[in-house]
Structure 1
Amino acid sequence: MSVALSRGLCRVLSRHTAPSSYLLGEHAVQSPWLAPVMTLKTSAPLRAEPKKKKKVDPRREQMIRERMKRKLKRLEKIPPELIPIEDQLIPAKCLDETRERSVPRLSFEESEGRALLLKKWSIYKQEQHMAEVQAVEDAIKAQREALKELKLESEQLYQAALKPDPLLFPFTHEGPAYTPPKTDYEAPDGKYTDITRVYTQ
């Protein structure tokens, strides 16, 4: 290969390659716009065919959707099954009408006496409540007046009086008393029959 041919080839390749140096034949040619020919690589040809999409029948899709809609409507018609609360259910043996006790009929004087007693009790409890409220208001009023006088006497004592007293409401608690074990006590074996019902939705 002649030098002129190699230079011509360099000019053609310089338009499509990155700046580098390359070697053609026996002559080393430096070019800022060419890359070595050996670095030019191409990927292997791929002759695989793309996967053919299966043709979906629109009628079949419509039938599947309608079937699902029918199932949903059928499920909506069925009311949800609620789990019963057995603690609030009255046993059938307690619903026997023969077990009902008849309410004793009170005389007119007895019913009037009970109503009058209830009114007197209500008036008594109201007076007791009003007396407690008045006592609390008097105590608060006296406390405010005492704090005003204390503030005039000493600011330090006034600030100390405003601090909460942790010993105002003392709390004492005693645990269980120590008792010796019973010699004739037979501990239960712990076996039991589980009769808890399990509900599934």
Structure 2
Amino acid sequence: MSAALSRGLCRALSRHTAPSSLLLGGHHRAGLSPWFAPVMTLKTSAPLRAEPKKKKKVDPRREHMLKERMRKKLKKMEKVAPEFIPLDDLITPTKCLDETRLERSAPRLSFGESEGRALLLKEWCRYKQEQHMAEVQAVELALEAQREALEELKLESEELYQAALKPDPLLFPFTHEGPAYTPPKSKYEAPDGKYNDITKVYTQ
């Protein structure tokens, strides 16, 4: 039984190694063992020659000193209050903080003065109303005269009537030119102008 099993294994291995043995040539067939595969059938990975990085030896005393120095700096920064940047635009000028301006009150008027101002205001309102009514009446009279003139013109000549209804472009002289499209200059440098930079720089 064992002899038959060993013969079957030898046949199977000889079948798998036949193509590779053909590549090696006929004079190597006799030297090949059925238990070992030829060298050409072996696959190997690329050699890995990398070496892990060695950790630098740090002096524990030096590391402790660095930590202590950083801790002292942090303590010193916590003690000092942060300095806020002032906003000049939100600061009220001193000339506007005068108490006399804030507490200034209207002058007291006598009874006769207040009555005179009230009568003067009523007279002014009455005058402006009359002026407005006069303007409205003048516009109405002008429109009525224009309508009557157009009716008389229509009776005389239809062509002149149609020409009178057209808008007159010369009544309001208005000239307008659109934006001129010109290609930009490629090497043109726009001038910045002269100015004094008075920007305040704050450091914390």
Tell me which interval the TM-score lies in, with the shorter structure as reference length.
Answer: 0.3 to 0.5
Indicate the structure (1 or 2) with the bigger Cα radius of gyration: 2
Q: Whose strand fraction is larger, Structure 1's or Structure 2's?
A: 1
Q: What's the TM-score once normalised by structure 2's chain length?
A: 0.40
Q: What's the TM-score once normalised by structure 1's chain length?
A: 0.41
Q: Whose helix fraction is larger, Structure 1's or Structure 2's?
A: 2
Q: Which has the higher contact order (CA 8 A, sep 6+)?
A: 2
